[in-house]
Amino acid sequence: MILYFMKYILLILTIFSLLLQAKELKLNKRDINLIKESPNKNYIINRFKKFKQMREKAANFPIEKKLAYVNAFFNKILPIDDATKYNYDDYWATRKEFIIEGHGDCEDYTIAKYFTLLELGIKKKNLYFAVVQVKGKTSYHMNLLYLDNPKAVPLVLDNLSFKVVPFPIRKKLLPKFVFNEYDAHILTKTGLGKKVKVDWGEVNKWEVLLDRVYNKNE
């Protein structure tokens, strides 16, 4: 019993030490219990360790290298659809959930990259969540865009590619619209179009996500 308790304390100390520098990524008691009970806890702790190493290494990178490094890091996590993972269609996982689960779909990759880049000093106004369609596919796809200014050609961070390139180079991506914490726009092949209002339907998943991250530490 004592040995079990010591292992539990060691687990808690290990996780907290790994995340000490990640101001926005803090584990609560529920998270720690979830990790503790997981048969994959060693893998989860290793993912957090690698996340911390990535974050520290990328901190002083120039912007484009920072984008590429974060994109590549999260793209190593395996994709899976929401119905398989959560028994819920189009669930938006927080970055913390994504790292703990170790797999996710396109929204999960985009969310994780967004909040990580914010921690690394990228401004919110320069990042947009992009809804696109991949040629030959009937469903929509999400990725993250970086724009140096509102008239710039976006750079694409996508779980379908390890390369961060200007949007026009991704010929198979059909632009639809983008949004961030300030506004939303029609997306064209060369950048932002006119401002629009996103129809979220019955549930505004974007507001729910921001509330979970900023106010509920999820």
Structure confidence at residue 175 (pLDDT): 98
pLDDT, one tens digit per residue, over 92-144 is: 999 999 999 999 999 999 999 999 999 999 999 999 999 999 999 999 999 99
Residue holding tokens 């590429």?
Answer: 68
Structure confidence at residue 165 (pLDDT): 98
Quote the strand ranges of the chain, DSSP E. 78-79, 103-104, 127-134, 140-146, 155-158, 161-166, 173-179, 184-188, 191-195
pLDDT, one tens digit per residue, over 161-199 is: 999 999 999 999 999 999 999 999 999 999 999 999 999
pLDDT, one tens digit per residue, over 55-77 is: 999 999 999 999 999 999 999 99
Q: Give Cβ neighbours of residue 2 (< 8 Å, ≥ 6 apart).
A: none
Query: How many domains in the chain?
Result: 1
Structure confidence at residue 6 (pLDDT): 52
Candidate from 76-80, 86-90, 133-137, 146-150 with smallest mean pLDDT:
86-90
Residue holding tokens 């990328």?
Answer: 58
Which structural domain, as residue segments, surrounds residue 183? 2-214
Q: Domain of 161: which CATH number?
A: 3.10.620.30
Mean pLDDT to the nearest integer, 36-48: 94
Mean pLDDT to the nearest integer, 140-161: 97
Structure confidence at residue 89 (pLDDT): 59
pLDDT at 17 over 50: no
CA 204 to chain centroid: 18
Which band of pLDDT confidence, cut at 50, 70 and 90, is reported for residue 26? confident
Residue 61's Cβ-count burial label (10 Å; 0-12, 13-18, 19+) is: middle
